[in-house]
Structure 1
Amino acid sequence: MRIFATTALALMAAATPAMAQDGTFQGPRVEVVGGWDRAQTQGVGGSGFVYGGGIGYDLQRGKTVFGVDAEVTGSTLDKCEFGVCAKAGRDLYAGARIGVAATPNTLVYGKIGYSNGRMIGYTATQRIADNLDGVRLGAGVERSFGNVYGKVEYRYTNYSQNVERHQVLGGIGYRF
């Protein structure tokens, strides 16, 4: 019995460094995201559900966190008025973020980057798809639970051709 107890204590002591990663915002990460999506142009727009995934890498120095990330999302946004319809397609994003570890397990951050969104316009007889380039600004809060984290984020994207997009989403990720 003593050998079993000694072995169990030795294994727990060996596992402690892995548990010490709580609160760190450094290293590569992957995540899935989902939430509310609204696109509009000149006051006309619609809402849907945004979904997708991303990758990133963060570097923490003291309480300051610098990172880069990339994301691919889709949307259920599909709005029709007077026989003319607009649909949001895929969205590609690459950018940077900077944040502050407000607590050992909570990161508050802002982000900026390039976004390329596909917008599709269609009627009963025509379909026009266009890729729009834009700038995304965002802010969020990330909470670490060891290697797993959750986040809530708001972001605004201003595309060419007077198209704006607002999104509020949540995400779950894994930091390696």
Structure 2
Amino acid sequence: MKTILVAAIAAAGVVPSVASAQNFNGPRIEARLGYETPAIAENDSDDIYKIGSAVSYGAEAGYDIRTKRVVVGPYVNYEVSGVKLCDDDICLAERGNFSAGARVGLVAGQRGLVYGKLGYANITLEARDGGSVIDSASKGGIQSALGYEFGLGEFYGFVEAAYSHYGKFDDINLERRQVAGGIGIRF
């Protein structure tokens, strides 16, 4: 009987926090899992060639400032990916993507936030011949994203679609498309 009473008291303490409204204010950190497709396009053509598609994972940290219905704040993000394109023993692979910028959101209901991001992104590509690195290069550009964040008690979940354009990379245009989701916490 004591076990049932303790469990009921614990559940009563948890239920109000799960149902409470989100404050969308202060520092936050999140774990991210996504699916991405970096691609290249020739300058004289509308054809787009995928470097590959793969799962990406990483983390984001940010600080949100909320007015009545608007949330603004900076963010910084780093993700790694398994994207690779091989021809015989020579492979081109993505080794990481860093981004930093600002996000602006609109509070939707008690626990939702619709947001947009705009910032700087930097991708690192690496060429290998067998197991040896032939060359490695980084390229910076602009990243934009649209997403939806939803409260899960003390935590929050999110889904997001992002697009990065890095401009010309050795006379070809380089871009990255990504869909991601994950879970985060505010402090």
Q: Give the AA of the match of 1:108.
A: V
Equivalent in the alignment of 2:107: 101
Q: Percent identity?
A: 33
Equivalent in the alignment of 1:22: 21
Equivalent in the alignment of 1:154: 161
Equivalent in the alignment of 1:31: 30
Higher mean Cα deviation, 93-102 or 21-30? Answer: 21-30
Q: CA deviation at 1:123?
A: 3.4
Q: Give the AA of the match of 1:127.
A: I
Whole-angstrom distance in 1 between the partners of 2:87 and 2:109: 47
Equivalent in the alignment of 2:181: 170
Whole-angstrom distance in 1 between the partners of 2:69 and 2:185: 20
Q: CA deviation at 1:23?
A: 1.8
Relative to 1, partners in 2 of residues 1:26 and 1:128: Cα closer, same or farther, differing over 3 Å? Answer: same
Q: Which runs of 5+ in 1 are unaligned?
A: 1-8
Q: Does the CA contact (< 8 Å) of 1:21 and 1:147 recur in 2?
A: no
Output aligned runs, 1:2-151, within 5 Å: 22-42=21-41, 43-44=48-49, 45-81=51-87, 84-124=90-130, 127-151=134-158
Q: Which runs of 5+ in 2 are unaligned?
A: 1-8, 42-47
Higher mean Cα deviation, 20-29 or 157-166? Answer: 20-29
Q: Give the AA of the match of 1:166.
A: R
Count of aligned positions: 166
Q: TM-score, normalised by structure 1?
A: 0.84
Whole-angstrom distance in 1 between the partners of 2:133 and 2:99: 28
Higher mean Cα deviation, 92-101 or 118-127? Answer: 118-127
Deviations 1:105-139 (A, max 9, x none): 00000000011110112334761110110110000
Equivalent in the alignment of 1:3: none
Q: CA deviation at 1:35?
A: 1.1
